[in-house]
Amino acid sequence: KKASIRAAAEKAVGAVLGDDGPEDGVPGKPASVSPPVEEPTTPRDPLPPKADQSGPETVSPTGQATGDNPARMAQSGPYLTTAQGARLYDSDHSLKAGPRGPVLLQDHHLREKITHFDHERIPERVVHARGAAAHGVFRGYGTASNISKAAFLAKDVETPVFVRFSTVLGSRGSADTVRDTRGFATKFYTEEGVFDLVGNNIPVFFIQDAIKFPDIVHAAKPHPDREIPQAQSAHDTFWDFVTLHTEATHHTLWNMSDRGIPRSLRMMEGFGVHTFRLVNAEGASTLVKFHWKPKLGVHSQVWEEAQMACGFDPDFHRRDLADAIEAGAFPQWELGVQTFPDNPEQMFEGIDLLDPTKIVPEELAPVRTIGLMTLNANPSNYFAETEQVAFHVGNMVPGVDVTNDPLMQGRLFSYVDTQLTRLGGPNFPQLPINRTHAPVNDMLRDGMHQTAVHRGVAPYRPNSLDAGCPFLAGEDTAAFIEVPVEVPESRKVRDAAASFDDHFSQARLFWLSMSPVEREHIVAAYTFELGKCYEQAVKERGLKSLARIDAQLCEQVATGLGLSAPAPEEPLADPRPSPALSQVGKVWPLDGRVVAIVTDGVSDLDGVRAVRQAVLEADMVPLIVAPSGGKLDPSGDPITVQRTFATARSIEFDAVLMAGAPRPAADAQGARDARAGEPTGEPVDPRVVLLLSEAFRHGKAIGVWSGGENALPAAGVLANAPGVVGGDSGVSTLEQVKELLGTHRVWDRFPPSV
Ligand code: HDD
């Protein structure tokens, strides 16, 4: 199995150039179907779905298995038809009064085709419009059974899931690698109904009360006059709001940290953000915070790399997720909970559990793992699944319940409401991707896009005409029963608890928990974002807010902005740092990391072949990069070129291995220009120079052998610089690169300045 995964890993990401096409036994490509060279003319049934796209089967709203996914049933039979199933003989020409005459209104097929096309788009999500999703399975460990009676958490129970990752601010067509929070929404199709865990990759939120959501979103979205900038927070209205509305400080700091630019959706943590309530079979309740812990570790891009990816590959994250799944390298997360006693105060170690701008450090409340999620199938159709999926914080199952967090309470209203506009009516739970896998027997009727054919005459209770059906369940028959929490007698107020007034102590905690290099990135991010603001008042207010987090942070950003740093209004307290918040200093698995093997096309091709194999054996993805496409060493054991110097860009790779120092093409203007500016040494192809210098700047491991070292001077890279290694052979060089990759980046290359 491993071997086929490896072969597939290579296939999935390497098929741009010189690919041999599908091969039997490669997951994700139908076995025996070769791509047509010419348009086939013999009628045949549609191709089966790809192997990596077999999402879970759905059941009808009335609980009957449909037998097949209805989306697929929309494409059966060999012939093109109208929406009514009438076979067509021509779909290229309108019906006209003669070949040069006017088009006839009578042309039903023309009208149907154009009318349907005219209505193909639906409103994009008001936030989280840009997303990518996958199917998978969640397996409970049973370790939560003492605190929750939810069936899906029981030991070894397997529950199908659908996960949609997203950016918050950008439109549906915006780039993936912008600086933003990432959505991490999971739909569990449990046997007791759908449970949606609609979280983010950042554990805190900008606001404490849902009534402020339109404010933060209006401030963060593009300016309403010119509709710029797209998909980013580096603009005046965002900073205007988050510096006035100081409860946003903590979340904003996370955004400015490396968490705002993940390396991969597969390498992000997820958080339920709010405190939830779990309840066990005895009725005892526990407060919890949900965490998703990625098996591959938590990694980020560096800012320049992320910006470059926005242009070179705006689909960077979406592609990475789909490729990994198609390759059989299924991403996994463990679900964990921090648990707290459900006492009336709902505080833990002085932290208000109802305040969604606060975390509870893992050092104070460890994360207990309660299950494992594996994403193992890509969607078959983006629109039907990723676009039409509708999450709702209120979709809960027995054993899970809400708390009084005022942000959560407002969300309980917003998510159903928004789908009415977005999905055009109240029957969106019947869309295949939204259907529960539990039997449904509701008394909801009619409405736009009703697909159920309800029977009976009495959709009301009590009734005698439908024999009293459906009946109410009770505690012993798995009814969802709210935890009967005491509501203390109080006055109606538009107010918040006094503990909600602390907006800075946890921002300081986060800052103090960062390593020097992470702090340097934060300083650079604030300097960039505030530097993009036009309003002086906004920049100055930004600095005031930083002064309340840390004097040095404020000082450094002020220097970058050319302004003076204000002193904090109040003395800063020093909370105990939480090392768990830092991404640096840990060693992670290498699975799925992408290694470029750059060759001049001649040097040590046996070594290139061997190192490619060794990369695969380490469960990483090798990409052969050569001067031009096709095969290297065609007479012997040919090596397929996957990227050329024209198509490769450093952002795609986690590490670069280099055999030989490719010379510039003799007649290339670029080559001549590069020669003019080269610091020292032999001329090297300028595209390779660029690749190496970027990889170096972005803290990526570089390994050279067989003359590869001769390319370094042209890129201004010293052979003894941190994270630059060389060996006698490609394989021994790779061994050193693997060590470096375990820590994700060569952190020593970023001089600690804070
Ligand atoms: Fe939200 C979408 C996460 C606060 C209102 N939200 C949405 C999605 C995620 C989150 C991941 C995308 C779901 C998908 O992929 O379809 N939202 C959060 C988190 C929050 C949060 C973690 C705070 C802890 N959201 C929040 C508030 C409100 C909303 C306070 C409104 C009062 N969110 C929405 C929405 C969206 C949405 C407008 C847009 C599309 C959708 O719901 O289905 O209703």
In ligand 1, the atom with minimum distance to the C-alpha of 414 is: 44
140-171 per-position pLDDT tens digit:
999 999 999 999 999 999 999 999 999 999 99
pLDDT of residue 571: 85
Q: How many CB atoms sit inside 10 A of residue 462's CB?
A: 6
Cα(192) to centroid(ligand 1), Å:
24
Cα(168) to centroid(ligand 1), Å:
9
Q: Which residue's CA is minimally distant from atom 19 of ligand 1?
A: 199
Q: Which residue's CA is minimally distant from atom 7 of ligand 1?
A: 128
Fold of 512-581: Hemocyanin, N-terminal domain (1.20.1370)
Pocket residue to mutate for ligand 1, from 411, 419, 423, 431, most atoms within 8 A of Cβ: 411
Cα(245) to centroid(ligand 1), Å:
20
Cα 535 from chain centre: 33
In ligand 1, the atom with minimum distance to the C-alpha of 164 is: 15
Q: Which residue's CA is minimally distant from atom 35 of ligand 1?
A: 415
Between CA 315 and CA 176 the distance in angstroms is 6
| Residues annotated as catalytic (active site), given as ranges | 128, 200
Angle between helices 669-677 and 686-697 (to 10 degrees): 50
CA torsion sign for 202, 204, 209, 215 is negative
Contact 573, 554 (CB under 8 A): no
Cα(127) to centroid(ligand 1), Å:
7
pLDDT of residue 750: 85
Amino acid at 636: G
Q: Which residue's CA is minimally distant from atom 25 of ligand 1?
A: 411
Contact 287, 344 (CB under 8 A): no
374: which strand partners? 137, 332
Q: Which residue's CA is minimally distant from atom 22 of ligand 1?
A: 199
Between CA 510 and CA 530 the distance in angstroms is 20
pLDDT of residue 57: 60
In ligand 1, the atom with minimum distance to the C-alpha of 207 is: 30
In ligand 1, the atom with minimum distance to the C-alpha of 184 is: 11
pLDDT of residue 49: 73
Contact 187, 172 (CB under 8 A): no
Q: DSSP letters of 540-609?
A: HHHHHHHHTT-HHHHHHHHHHHT-PPPPPSSPPP-PPP-GGG--SS-----TT-EEEEEE-SSTTHHHHH
Q: Which residue's CA is minimally distant from atom 12 of ligand 1?
A: 128
pLDDT of residue 25: 35
Q: Which residue's CA is minimally distant from atom 29 of ligand 1?
A: 411
CA torsion sign for 697, 698, 703, 707 is negative
> Binding site for heme: residue ranges?
125, 164, 213, 411, 415, 422
Among 258, 304, 315, CA closest to 744:
258
In ligand 1, the atom with minimum distance to the C-alpha of 133 is: 15
Entry pTM: 0.93
In ligand 1, the atom with minimum distance to the C-alpha of 185 is: 11
In ligand 1, the atom with minimum distance to the C-alpha of 199 is: 22
In ligand 1, the atom with minimum distance to the C-alpha of 128 is: 12
> Binding site: residue ranges?
125, 164, 213, 411, 415, 422
The CATH number fitting domain 594-749, selected from 1.10.287.70, 3.40.190.10, 3.40.50.740, 3.40.50.880: 3.40.50.880
Pocket residue to mutate for ligand 1, from 128, 202, 413, most atoms within 8 A of Cβ: 128
Question: Based on the number of CB atoms within 10 Å of its own CB, is 295 exposed (0-12), middle (13-18) or buried (19 or more)?
Answer: middle
pLDDT of residue 28: 38
Cα(415) to centroid(ligand 1), Å:
7
Task: Report CA-CA distances (Å) from 584 to 88, 171, 200, 745.
Answer: 61, 32, 21, 9
Residue 548: φ, ψ to 5°: -85, -10
Contact 416, 425 (CB under 8 A): no
Cβ < 6 A, ligand 1 pocket: 125-128, 131, 164, 166, 183, 185, 198-200, 205, 210, 213, 273-274, 356, 389-391, 407, 410-411, 414-415, 418
Residue 43: φ, ψ to 5°: -60, 140
* CATH dotted code for 131-434: 2.40.180.10
Pocket residue to mutate for ligand 1, from 414, 417, 431, most atoms within 8 A of Cβ: 414
CA torsion sign for 712, 664, 616, 330 is positive
Domain ranges across the chain: 131-434, 512-581, 594-749
Between CA 723 and CA 745 the distance in angstroms is 9
Cα(207) to centroid(ligand 1), Å:
13
Cα(590) to centroid(ligand 1), Å:
33
pLDDT of residue 360: 98
> Could you tell me the mean pLDDT of each successive run of 10 residues in the chain, 754 residues long?
54 47 38 68 80 66 49 76 94 97 97 96 98 98 98 98 98 98 98 98 98 98 97 98 98 98 98 98 97 97 98 97 95 98 96 98 98 96 97 98 98 97 96 94 96 94 93 94 91 95 97 97 98 98 97 97 92 92 95 96 96 96 96 90 96 97 72 51 91 97 97 95 96 98 94 59
Q: Which residue's CA is minimally distant from atom 30 of ligand 1?
A: 210
